[in-house]
């Protein structure tokens, strides 16, 4: 459980001063049972005895890493149980009429950050698999030497897992006990803290990684330069988090208009209501960013596949805006005209996106090597070279592509639990997608490097022929 004592020999530098003679002694079995021989103790100077006792005491009080890990896990479960218990009791204190509305509002503020936390956890798993499979993801994403490892990613995710539910529990507790103003301040403080950490200009909290993230987001919003792999890779992830950004916009809107912990937002036609025109505008932004990236890529490379890719992202636009029209047209017109168009556009977007994933973003011609770890591992044994992995990935990708249109549709957002589950499943689908997309890019980079090496070998062979011919002529 605890670290064992370090047995220092008599010649150890910890037991004598620099330049002093080594102390030689021979301890018998009886001396070991009764302690250290008095002559040996007397031969050691007083200062050396203090140093030895300090070393031994320091070593003795240091717990083992296993004990620390078990203690952390225990505290984590105690914290989780406490949050669940306090949150449940707080919700049960409220009247049945207001309970659903209150949970809907609380869920709106905190579900975006919960989904971001889930994304960070899964990204750490991606990086762990890349490191185990010797995939140089730093080269693929053009990262510097200070990039975050999977352990540091998981450390950030752990803190997010602790802070976000704690704030949500405080919100539930304070509101149920009548402290409305203090409850309203909880999500506001949390959002402000997240924004401050992201833009904090000092060299703490992984400054280089935060700068890399913000710079990539800026390049996505304004694609005025050549599109790199990390640019469109991040933009693809943002399309899976469109619902997260929509809820963030609605949460910030209520905070700005001081509607937190009130029912003023419940009016559908209010500025921050469920019929607001900003909802489809925010939902469509990630797809527009990716659309303009494809146009920029076509301008730089002239590849027609970039135009076909841009067409894929444009198919999401009618899904979003046709759904939003339900709140702005007569019900009969929606059912007879706009709803069939919405269904057709949803099917087209889902099938087109699925086709592009399988045929363009992934390379399923051979078994993936992303799960072939350098060292034996259960995870690698279960996934590497297994046909069921491809059947699962293709089947789940098709199903989740079809259900993803559910959350893009504003008229289906009333069931917030279902929308949250579908959004979480979409993030999981993107997590699967990352493995095959990064491997495809890694294979392309290796093939290009092999071609360059072969091209470099050709002049050398020609030089050898010339040298041999000249020697022969001589």
Task: Name the residue ranges covered by the structural domains of the chain.
Answer: 65-457
Q: How confident is the model at residue 419 (pLDDT cuts 50, 70, 90)?
A: confident
Give the pLDDT confidence of 155-183 residue by residue, as tens digits: 999 999 999 999 999 999 998 888 888 99
Please state the pTM of the whole predicted model.
Answer: 0.78
Mean pLDDT, residues 297-316:
92
pLDDT of residue 19: 41
pLDDT of residue 28: 44
Mean pLDDT, residues 7-21:
40
- Give pairs for 233-237: CB < 8 Å, separation 24+: 233/141, 233/437, 235/286, 235/289, 235/290, 235/293, 236/290, 236/430, 236/433, 236/437, 237/119, 237/430
pLDDT of residue 198: 92
65: Cα separation from own chain's centroid = 26
pLDDT at 56 over 60: no
pLDDT of residue 102: 81
pLDDT of residue 82: 94
Distance between CA atoms of residues 43 and 51, nearest Å: 15
Give the pLDDT confidence of 261-281 residue by residue, as tens digits: 776 555 555 677 777 888 889
Q: Which of 426, 462, 442 is nearest to 237 (CA)?
A: 426
Helix (H, G, I), strand (E, B) or coil at 24: coil
Helix (H, G, I), strand (E, B) or coil at 7: coil
pLDDT at 33 over 90: no
Mean pLDDT, residues 378-392:
66
pLDDT at 474 over 50: no
pLDDT of residue 409: 62
DSSP characters over 407-461: HH-GGGTT-HHHHHHHHHHHHHHHHHHHHHHHHHHHHHHHHHHHHHHHHHHHHHH
Mean pLDDT, residues 10-28:
41
Mean pLDDT, residues 420-445:
88
Please, what is the average pLDDT of the chain? 78
pLDDT at 63 over 90: no
Q: Which of 167, 210, 156, 204 is nearest to 189 (CA)?
A: 167
Distance between CA atoms of residues 149 and 153, nearest Å: 6
Q: Which residue has the higher pLDDT, 10 or 87?
A: 87
Which residue bears the tokens 């890019």? 441
Mean pLDDT, residues 389-416:
75
pLDDT of residue 10: 41
């Amino acid at each position: 459980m605890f670290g064992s004592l370090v047995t220092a020999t008599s010649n150890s530098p910890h037991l004598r001063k620099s330049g002093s003679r080594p102390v030689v002694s021979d301890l018998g079995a009886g001396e070991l049972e009764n302690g250290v021989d008095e002559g040996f103790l007397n031969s050691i100077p007083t200062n050396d005895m203090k140093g030895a006792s300090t070393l031994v005491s320091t070593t003795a009080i240091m717990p083992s890493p296993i004990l620390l890990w078990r203690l952390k896990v225990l505290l984590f479960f105690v914290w989780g149980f406490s949050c669940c218990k306090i949150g449940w009791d707080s919700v049960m204190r409220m009247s049945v009429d207001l309970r659903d509305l209150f949970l809907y509002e609380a869920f709106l503020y905190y579900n975006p950050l919960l989904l971001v936390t889930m994304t960070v956890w899964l990204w750490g798993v991606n990086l762990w698999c890349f490191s185990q499979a010797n995939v140089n993801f730093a080269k693929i994403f053009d990262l510097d030497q200070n990039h975050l490892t999977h352990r540091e990613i998981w450390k950030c995710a752990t803190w997010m897992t602790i802070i976000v539910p704690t704030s949500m529990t405080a919100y539930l507790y304070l509101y149920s006990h009548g402290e409305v103003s203090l409850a309203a301040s909880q999500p506001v403080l949390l959002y402000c803290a997240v924004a401050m950490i992201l833009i904090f200009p000092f060299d703490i909290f992984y400054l280089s990684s935060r700068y890399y993230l913000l710079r990539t987001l800026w390049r996505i919003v304004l694609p005025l330069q050549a599109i790199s792999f990390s640019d469109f890779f991040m933009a693809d992830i943002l399309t899976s988090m469109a619902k997260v950004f929509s809820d963030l916009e609605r949460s910030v809107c209520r905070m700005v208009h001081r509607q937190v912990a009130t029912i003023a937002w419940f009016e559908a036609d209010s500025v921050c209501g469920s019929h607001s025109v900003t909802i489809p505008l925010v939902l469509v932004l990630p797809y527009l960013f990716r659309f303009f990236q494809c146009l920029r890529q076509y301008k730089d490379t002239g590849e027609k596949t970039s135009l076909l890719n841009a067409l894929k992202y444009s198919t999401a636009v009618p899904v979003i805006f046709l759904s939003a029209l339900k709140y702005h047209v007569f019900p009969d017109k929606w059912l007879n005209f706009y709803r069939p168009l919405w269904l057709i556009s949803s099917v087209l977007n889902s099938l087109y996106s699925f086709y592009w994933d399988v045929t363009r973003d992934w390379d399923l011609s051979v078994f993936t090597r992303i799960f072939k770890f350098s060292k034996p591992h259960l995870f690698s044994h279960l996934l590497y070279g297994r046909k069921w992995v491809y059947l699962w990935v293709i089947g789940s990708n098709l199903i989740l592509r079809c259900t993803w249109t559910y959350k893009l549709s504003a008229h289906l957002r009333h069931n917030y639990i279902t929308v949250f589950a579908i959004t979480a499943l979409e993030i999981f689908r993107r997590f699967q997608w990352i493995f095959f997309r990064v491997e495809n890019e890694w294979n392309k980079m290796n093939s290009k490097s092999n071609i360059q090496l072969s091209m470099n070998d050709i002049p050398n062979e020609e030089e050898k022929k010339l040298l041999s011919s000249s020697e022969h002529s001589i």
